[in-house]
Every structure is written in structure tokens, then in C-alpha cells.
Amino acid sequence: MKKEIASIYYVRVFAMLMVVFVHATAQYRHLFTVNTIQHQIYHFLNNIVRVESGIFIMLVGIVFFYNYQNRNFLSKENLLTYFKRRVVYILIPYIIWSLIYEADAIYYGDRVYDLAGIIDRILTGQSKYQLYFIFLIVQFYLVLPIIVTITQKSAFLRKYLWVFGVLIEFIYFFLNMKYNLTTVPFFLNLFGSFLLGAWIGLHYNTIKAKITNAKIVLAGTGFLLTGVPYVLIRYQNTFNERVPIPESLYKLLGIGFLVIGSFFFFYLCEKFVETFSKKTTARIKSIAFYSFGFYLLHPFVLYYVMEWLPTRETNLSWHVTITLQYLLTVIACYFIIWAFHRFVPFASFLFGKLPKKAYLFWQAGREVDSKPVPHNQSN
């Protein structure tokens, strides 16, 4: 068995926390007046962490290309095993949570019961605002065996895989803008981040050996140089007059924001693995097991946290309230998923692949020297 990539657990936790932050702070739109400093700062924070979408897709590429690069992916046995796991750990939780959110919307009167509408929303990832991303990930899983097989046949392609990803995403952007090819989220919209992850997975040991502090700073600088103007332009385009720049340049900034930003967090997390103790890494790993569950569950929890601690109806500053809502949502999600993991059979049908034992993160840290937390990194 290959040595696991420990940094992906840190990266998953970063992305997990970012996606909750995006939705906890999204209320800035109706709390603050457009073009005030509060509105602008919250917009910036809310959008700069949207690099998480690139990070999640990069992780898919890293894990699968690292584990499957030398396998005959298209053999009947491997394909059956691969799709069985995707159905059990991705598709079933996605469908269950889609139905939960559909039932919740009907119960509160936000939707009327319409079976055709429910099926359509499930098929297109629209049952809840975050589920479109699972819809995208399912698309990546469907094409991944083909992409792995193609890369196995070309050393040149493997060497410049991330470049091909950026080019394909950019070309697709133009074709879709001209011919309106798709009206639902489509995997080629994030293909640069995906093939970046694939490239990292294929060349992980070489890339890891060449990481330096200077390269981390360089990647972080690239992230800011693309991310800051992208977010600022997005603010103007959304709330004021559109910035008169070519759509192609804006798209390139967006691709750079996600691709360079995702690479920066990968670099940074490799540094964390070197810097922090094995106990700390084991604790981060145990939290990262729940990242998919967080993605599915957090809107449900956030809603009830905001009902219990409403932003407008307390004596607290809105900034304090939003911070508390965010922290309470993260903490509640963790313990809800852990409780299901610990006490409910077949919890993986709700929250994706989980390790055999339900360790609380501090327990994982305590036991790391004597017995590793049982888990297979391969998805």
C-alpha cells in the first residue's frame, strides 16, 4: 500500500471550514448597505474563501490519480468496485440529503409538493444551495476512469496535465458562452483545478521534495494577485456598473484564483505536516473524515443556529453574532456527525465514507503513538 498523503487532511479541513464560512456570512447582502465598508469587507471575505470549490475538486484529482495511476482502471473488476463505492459513499448520501432538504422546504411552505420538480432538482443538484457541487463531483467520478486511462498512455500529457486542464476549461468557457452548451453546473467549469490535482497525484513525491518556503510565498502571492482583483471586479459587476474588461481576462483571473489558490493551500498543508506533531496531524485527520458530512449537513444546522441566535434580534453586534453562528454551526456539525458515526448503524449512507471506529479528535491524537486510526485513504 502506498504511503498516504497526510497533507490532504489539512486541506480538507481548510475547505470544510471555508464552505461553512461562505454560507454563514452570506447574510451580509441584506444586513449592510451596498458600497459601505462593512458590505465590501464581508463580500471580500465571503468570496476570497470560495477557493474552496477549487480545493475540493483538486482533492478528488490528487487522491484518485495517486492511488489509481498504475491500475487497469477499465477492467471489469476495478470498474465495479469503483462505481460501487461511489454509489454507496457519494450517490446515496446525496440522494438522502436531497430528499431531506426537499421535505424541509415543503414542510416550511417554501415549495409545494411536485414529484416531477423534486426529481428534476435532484438530478441537477438544486434541492439545496450547496448540493450543486455534489452534482459536479458526481460528473467528475463518471469521467475519471476515462481520464486516468488516457493519461496512462502519454508521458507528455502527464508532465503538463495542469496546463491541459486550464486550456480545456478556458476553451470550454468560450464555447459555452457562444453556443450555450449547458445550463446546469458542468464539470469542465472546474477542469483546471481537477487536472491540477491529477498532476499533483501523479508527481506527488517529486513535488513534495521540491517544496520550499520561497515557493509557498510565491504561490500565496499568486493566489492574492489573481484572487483579490477577481473578487473586487465581482463586487463591481454584482452591485454596480460592470467593469469594462474582456470576459476572457475575467475568466483567466477566475481560473488563476482557483488553480493557484488550491496549489497554495496544498503547499501550505505540506508544510503543516512537516511542522506539526504526528498527534496534531492525527487529530486533523479525524476531523477531515467528516468533511463530506459537513458539506451535506451544514445548511440544515446553520438554519437552526440562526433561528436560535438571530442576527437582527439580539443586543450583540452583528459581527459578533455572525461569528458565533459560524462557530456554533461548525461545532454542532462535528458532534452531530460523530454521534451518528458512533451510535447509528450505516452512518456512511448519510455522511459518506467513515472510518471503522468513531474517534473524537482528541482521542485520535492520544492514541497515535500506539495504534493508528484505521482508515484507507483511497476513495
pLDDT at 301 over 90: yes
The model's pTM: 0.93
* pLDDT value at residue 368: 55
Q: Give the three-state DSSP class for 253.
A: helix
* CA within 13 Å, CB half, 376: 8
* pLDDT value at residue 371: 47
Structural domain count of the chain: 1
Please check whether residue 294 lies inside any domain of the structure.
no
Residues 223, 228: Cα–Cα separation, whole Å: 8
pLDDT at 308 over 60: yes
pLDDT, tens digit, 9 for 90 and up, residues 147-164: 998 999 999 999 999 999
pLDDT at 376 over 50: no
pLDDT, tens digit, 9 for 90 and up, residues 1-28: 578 999 999 999 999 999 999 999 999 9
In this prediction, residue 314 has a pLDDT band, given cuts at 50, 70 and 90, of: confident
Please check whether residue 214 lies inside any domain of the structure.
yes
Report the share of the chain in percent with pLDDT over 70. 96
As a whole number, mean pLDDT of residues 19-44 equals 97
Q: 20: closest CA among 297, 377, 307, 369? A: 297
* pLDDT value at residue 367: 58
* pLDDT value at residue 378: 46
Please check whether residue 355 lies inside any domain of the structure.
no
Instruction: Give the ranges where 6-91 is alpha helix by DSSP (H).
Output: 7-25, 28-31, 37-48, 52-68, 76-86
Q: 300: closest CA among 133, 135, 131? A: 131
pLDDT, tens digit, 9 for 90 and up, residues 47-78: 999 999 999 999 999 999 998 877 777 778 88
As a whole number, mean pLDDT of residues 276-284 equals 94
Please check whether residue 147 lies inside any domain of the structure.
yes
Residues 323, 24: Cα–Cα separation, whole Å: 8
Q: 371: closest CA among 356, 350, 351? A: 356
In this prediction, residue 373 has a pLDDT band, given cuts at 50, 70 and 90, of: very low
* pLDDT value at residue 377: 52
Q: 111: closest CA among 127, 130, 95? A: 127
In this prediction, residue 141 has a pLDDT band, given cuts at 50, 70 and 90, of: very high
Range of 271's domain?
A: 7-280
Please check whether residue 310 lies inside any domain of the structure.
no
* pLDDT value at residue 228: 98
* pLDDT value at residue 370: 46
As a whole number, mean pLDDT of residues 265-275 equals 97
Q: 233: closest CA among 43, 32, 30? A: 43
Please check whether residue 169 lies inside any domain of the structure.
yes
pLDDT at 372 over 60: no
pLDDT, tens digit, 9 for 90 and up, residues 102-134: 999 999 999 999 999 999 999 999 999 999 999
* pLDDT value at residue 374: 46
Instruction: Give yes or no for a contact between 252 and 192, defined as CB atoms under 8 angstroms apart.
Output: no
Residues 215, 101: Cα–Cα separation, whole Å: 43
pLDDT, tens digit, 9 for 90 and up, residues 209-260: 999 999 999 999 999 999 999 999 999 999 999 999 999 999 999 999 999 9
- Average confidence score pLDDT of the chain: 92
As a whole number, mean pLDDT of residues 275-297 equals 95
Q: What type of residue sits at position 151?
A: T
Q: 62: closest CA among 194, 151, 187, 157? A: 194
